[in-house]
Amino acid sequence: MKFLGKFFLSLLLLILLALVVLYVLLQTQWGAGWFSRWVSDKTAWHLSLSKIEHDFTSPSHIILDDFSFGHDGQPAVLVAKRVDLGLALVQFSDPLHFNSIEVRDGEINLANQAPDTTLPMQANRLQLNNVRIENPHSTMPMTAQRVNGGLLPWKPLPNDVLGSDAQFQISAGTLTLDGVPGNNVLLQGSIKQRRLVLSNIGADLARGSMTGNAERDAQGNWKIDQLRLNDIRLQTHQSLSDFLNPLRDVPSVSINRLDMTDARLQGPDWAVTDLDLTLKNVTWRGDDWQSEGGSISMNAGNFINGGFELNDPIVNADLSAQGIALTQFSSRWVNGVIRASGSWTRSDKRLTLDELAIAGLEYTLPQNWRERWQETLPSWLDSVLVTRATANRNLIIDINPTFPFQMTSLDGSADNLLLARQHQWGIWSGKASFNAAEATFNRTDLRHPSIALNANDQQIQVTELSAFNGSGLLEGTATVGQDVQRPLTLNLKGQAVPANVLGNWGWPTQLSGNSNLQLQLKGSLNASAPLRQSVDGTLSVTTDAQAVQQTMRGGQVQ
């Protein structure tokens, strides 16, 4: 019995000695290297350490120096100057489940993590101290530096490094999200069954500040309860459409309230200055939106998109399931003023302007305005109805060299004017009248030109067409059909007008002096063919000295 007692005592001492030796060796550079190689050889991960430390003053903690960890054959996912592992009793059954993991002075690069894999360790608490985080391949690419904070518990899942249930509080010195940089970022919240709740968001963003709270469900839908942006000064290389892409890249974004004050946003061909915006109760899904009891209130110093610029725009509108009620729109544009109110209805995709007022414009039409007039409208806009419109003291210029024109002090009014239907611009119904103080059409000067028209489904009827030229008067009527061929008829007469008044408009004559003339013309305003080739007509001109009658066929005078 004494022999057995001595044997087991000696064996126990040898085991203790071996453990002491192993304990000492593991804390040497050789021991750290051996342990790293053992893990790398026995698992699908590679591990690199320079030293393993343990102090009996903190017996439940192991320190790993110069830590590097990642997939075999791939760059490291985690590199840190020091990793502190807090041990727990649960490790007897789950060796890689730690009480705590503290990462200090390191970098986490999630781009190096293989798809559909997860990190093999877990912890009741994950602590980050001065860590850099890279996640460039997510829906919204992110880079964060000087990250400090904690996550508890930490149980990473495939493609979800934060896990499905945890609470966190994280701060970052700098954070760039989808190309937008922020400083002094604070995030507080929780994760519950993959539902991300951000109870407190704070950041210095683009020389301004951002505060708010939001949440994202397991399907990726975002709900922003409150978000406030102050004094933002944001410059981006993205176009306006690309800048708004994050709203389309997620299943949906719901905004309970968004406030933006004194913001300045600028892209390569667009800009908004001095923007104040309040948006309530709106949900975006792709390119569509929904709302119940929502509203938008906005004013800005300038809004620029390409060659389009508004000065001091103001917009107030109520949003609902039925559509948009535009209670106020006003803006200065090309040295004039535009005011409007009305509605857009979702059921028929119609924009109805109950009132439209345009005054003091000095507008030069774009070179391709005729092509734009023929373009198909977007799917959300089927028709445009102007119930009441007025125009005062406007200057309209077309510098197209084929047929330039200019109208000065243009006034007018319109009632129930249907300007678009079935996604196509036109004058489909209603009545309108316009007059100007002076006009020039292809180098022919006119005084007090005026036009009045009525439109219906079959035709546009010009009931009055008049202008003074020289010492005489031009008067006429016309009709334009509403079918694809756009058949045109024009009757024009002149009294005491210059005999060559029609020369610049495509009908030359060799006569001179004042004359009386009568023109009857038919043609087609078909958008796919030139007008001149379709024109047939007769012209009679009588002067004091002679009378001439001419015929035009296919645009050629015979």
Residue 8, C-beta contacts closer than 8 angstroms, at least 6 positions apart: none
Helix (H, G, I), strand (E, B) or coil at 5: helix
Closest CA to 316 of 301, 326, 304, 324: 326
How far are the Cα atoms of 351, 424, 489, 493 from residue 520, in angstroms, in the given order?
Answer: 38, 30, 8, 9
Query: Which residues have CB under 8 Å from 141's CB, separation 6+?
Result: 135, 177, 178, 179
- Which pLDDT does position 237 carry in this prediction? 87
Residues 6+ apart with CB under 8 A from 24: 31
Q: Are 440 and 459 in contact (CB under 8 A)?
A: no
- State the DSSP string of 461-474: EEEEEEEEETTEEE
Residue 20 scores a pLDDT above 60 = no
Q: Has residue 490 got a pLDDT over 70? A: yes
In sequence order, the 6+-apart residues with CB closer than 8 A to the CB of 469 are 444, 445, 446, 447, 494, 497, 498, 501
Paired sense of beta strands 444-455 and 424-435, if any: antiparallel
pLDDT score for 453 = 97
pTM summary value: 0.82
Name the most confidently modeled range: 153-162, 382-391, 394-403, 543-552: 382-391
Residue range 491-512: mean pLDDT, rounded: 90
Q: Is the pLDDT of residue 2 over 80?
A: no
Mean per-residue pLDDT, 59-79: 87
Grade residue 10 by pLDDT with cuts at 50, 70 and 90: low
pLDDT: is 297 or 530 the higher one? Answer: 297
Dump strand ranges (E) for 49-159. Answer: 51-54, 61-71, 78-86, 97-98, 100-109, 122-123, 126-135, 142-152
The single-letter DSSP state of residue 56 is: T
Alpha-carbon dihedral sign for residues 440, 443, 445, 451: negative
Work out the pLDDT band at 270, boundaries 50, 70, 90: very high
Find out whether 82 and 105 touch, Cβ atoms under 8 Å: yes
Q: Which of 203, 201, 113, 211 is nearest to 162 (CA)?
A: 113
Residue 472 has pLDDT above 90, yes or no: yes
Look up tokens 């004042």; give the residue: 514
Q: At residue 20, what are phi and psi to the nearest 5 degrees? A: -65, -45
HSE of 87, CA atoms in CB hemisphere, 13 A:
12
Q: Give the three-state DSSP class for 488.
A: strand
Q: Which residue has the tokens 């080739």?
A: 533
Q: What is the DSSP letter of 112?
A: G
Could you write out the DSSP letters of every residue in 203-258?
EEETTEEEEEEEEE-TTS-EEEEEEEEES-EEE-SS-HHHHTHHHHHSS-EEEEEE
Top pLDDT among 1 and 529 is at: 529
Inter-CA distances, 504 with 248, 323, 403, Å: 52, 48, 9
Q: How far are the Cα atoms of 271, 298, 312, 317 from residue 305, in angstroms, in the given order?
A: 7, 17, 15, 21
| 407 in Cβ contact with 439 (< 8 Å) | yes
What is the structure's pLDDT at 25?
A: 45
Return d(Cα 469, Cα 16) in angstroms, integer: 118
Closest CA to 40 of 86, 73, 5, 79: 73
More confident position, 246 or 462: 462
What is the CB neighbour count within 10 angstroms for residue 488?
19
Q: What is the rounded distance in angstroms from the CA atom of residue 467 to the CA atom of residue 447?
A: 6
Mean pLDDT of the chain: 89
Q: What type of residue sits at position 467? A: A
- For the record, the structure tokens of 215 come out as 């949440």
- pLDDT tier at 17, thresholds 50, 70, 90: very low
**pLDDT per residue as tens digits for the range 145-168:** 999 999 999 888 887 788 888 999
3-state secondary structure (DSSP) of residue 499: coil
Over residues 103-141, the pLDDT tens digits come to: 999 999 988 888 778 888 899 999 999 999 988 876 667
- Across 321-356, b (16+ Cβ under 10 Å) vs e yields eebbbbeebbbbbbebbbebbbbbeeeebbbbbeeb
pLDDT tens digits, one per residue of 355-370: 999 999 999 999 889 8
In 267-349, the DSSP E strands lie at: 270-285, 288-299, 302-305, 308-319, 323-333, 336-345
d(CA 62, CA 53): 6
Residue 349 CB-half CA count within 13 A: 13
The token duo for 399 is 């510098």
Q: Angle at Cα 531 formed by Cα 530 and Cα 532, nearest 5°?
A: 95
Say if residue 456's pLDDT is above 90.
yes
Most confident of the ranges 18-22, 37-41, 199-203:
199-203
In angstroms, rounded to a whole number, what is the distance separating the alpha carbons of residues 417 and 342?
A: 14
Greater confidence, 243 or 345? 345
